[in-house]
């Protein structure tokens, strides 16, 4: 079977061919053409178009084309579900969906910049997604920084307190976790609520519900972002740090991600906000 999509594939348009060839049709032929030619060429060669507006195999709701293929072919596979979150986060610039999303986006942005041949891009992309699938099957519980004090302490807190029966007063783990997050937010944490739920074998829905009850009525991700913004504001007072360094030190994927979240929380561009802070403290260039 032939499948056709827009040229210069990056994230979703390489993930989908990988999914097709590995799980749906190993002998599939993938065709890349200019966006304006997809429908016309599809009719000429009898190919099925994907990842373009107005066709069946495309984005739906807040999901990507990769998600649609999984749904359409009823692929019940936890590893594919993990990859789907990463692809969706990378393809829609929602890096909060999965901590690996920013890395996947960066990898394919670099490949597209360096490689002009779409077939070569697809060949390399197949290898990358093969590796990602192996991780999603066998290695997703491993952490490169698994021995870091922050991650270990967070897990110890959850393991110690979340399995206790809820009492009417505020649980002890809430106080401990609040202090830990406040103290350690500048360590570039990448721990997510879903990772915690996997480690603890508890429902993510349950953890999310319990967390928001005691942490400013917001979910885990929003609370961490709020604390990172607060830490960033503290660091802005240091003129030796540029905004890119501050973004890194507070756990954002890059400066543009930091700028977007900062604007959302503070209603101001971080560079403008910083000028006010430095001016108020009397710093001068020199």
Determine the pLDDT at residue 188.
47
Q: Which residues contact 268 (CB under 8 A, 6 or more apart)?
A: 262
Determine the pLDDT at residue 277.
77
| Strand-pair category, 48-49 with 29-33 | unpaired
**How do the domains of the chain map onto residue ranges?**
2-139, 149-217, 224-281
Phi, psi torsion values for 61, nearest 5 degrees: 50, -125
Tell if the pTM clears 0.75, that is, is over it: no
DSSP 8-state secondary structure symbol assigned to residue 186: G
Determine the pLDDT at residue 125.
95
Determine the pLDDT at residue 222.
81
**Positions in the chain short of pLDDT 50:** 145-147, 151, 158, 161-168, 186-188, 200, 282-286
Reduced to 3 states (helix: H, G, I; strand: E, B; else coil), residue 29 is strand
What is the side-by-side order of every strand in the sheet holding 2-6? Answer: 29-33, 2-6, 48-49
Determine the pLDDT at residue 176.
59
Determine the pLDDT at residue 264.
87
Q: What confidence tens digit (pLDDT) does each residue in 92-146 have?
A: 888 878 888 889 999 999 999 999 999 999 999 999 999 999 999 988 876 554 4
Q: Identify the CATH homologous superfamily for domain 224-281.
A: Homeodomain-like (1.10.10.60)
Determine the pLDDT at residue 94.
84
């Amino acid at each position: 079977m032939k499948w056709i999509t827009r040229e210069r594939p990056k994230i979703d348009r390489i993930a989908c061919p990988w999914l097709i060839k590995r799980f749906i049709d190993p002998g599939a032929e993938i065709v890349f053409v200019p966006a304006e030619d997809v429908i016309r060429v599809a009719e000429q060669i009898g190919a099925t178009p994907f990842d373009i507006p107005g066709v069946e195999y495309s984005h739906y709701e807040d999901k990507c084309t990769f998600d649609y293929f999984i749904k359409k072919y009823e692929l019940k596979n936890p590893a594919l579900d993990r990859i789907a979150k990463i692809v969706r986060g990378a393809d829609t610039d929602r890096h909060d969906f999965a901590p690996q999303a920013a890395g996947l986006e960066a990898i394919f942005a670099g490949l597209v910049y360096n490689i002009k041949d779409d077939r070569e891009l697809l060949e390399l992309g197949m290898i990358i997604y093969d590796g990602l699938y192996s991780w999603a099957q066998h290695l997703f519980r491993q952490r490169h920084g698994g021995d870091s004090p922050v991650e270990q302490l967070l897990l110890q807190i959850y393991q110690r307190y979340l399995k206790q029966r809820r009492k009417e007063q505020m649980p002890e783990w809430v106080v401990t976790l609040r202090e830990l997050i406040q103290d350690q937010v500048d360590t570039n944490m990448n721990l997510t609520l879903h990772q915690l739920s996997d480690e603890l074998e508890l429902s993510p829905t349950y953890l999310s519900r319990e967390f928001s009850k005691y942490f400013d009525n917001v979910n885990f991700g929003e609370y961490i972002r709020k604390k990172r913004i607060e830490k960033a504001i503290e660091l802005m007072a240091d003129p030796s740090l540029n905004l890119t360094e501050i973004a890194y030190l507070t756990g954002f994927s890059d400066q543009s991600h930091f700028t977007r979240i900062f604007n959302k929380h503070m209603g101001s561009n971080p560079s403008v906000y910083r000028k006010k802070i430095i001016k108020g403290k009397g710093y001068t260039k020199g």
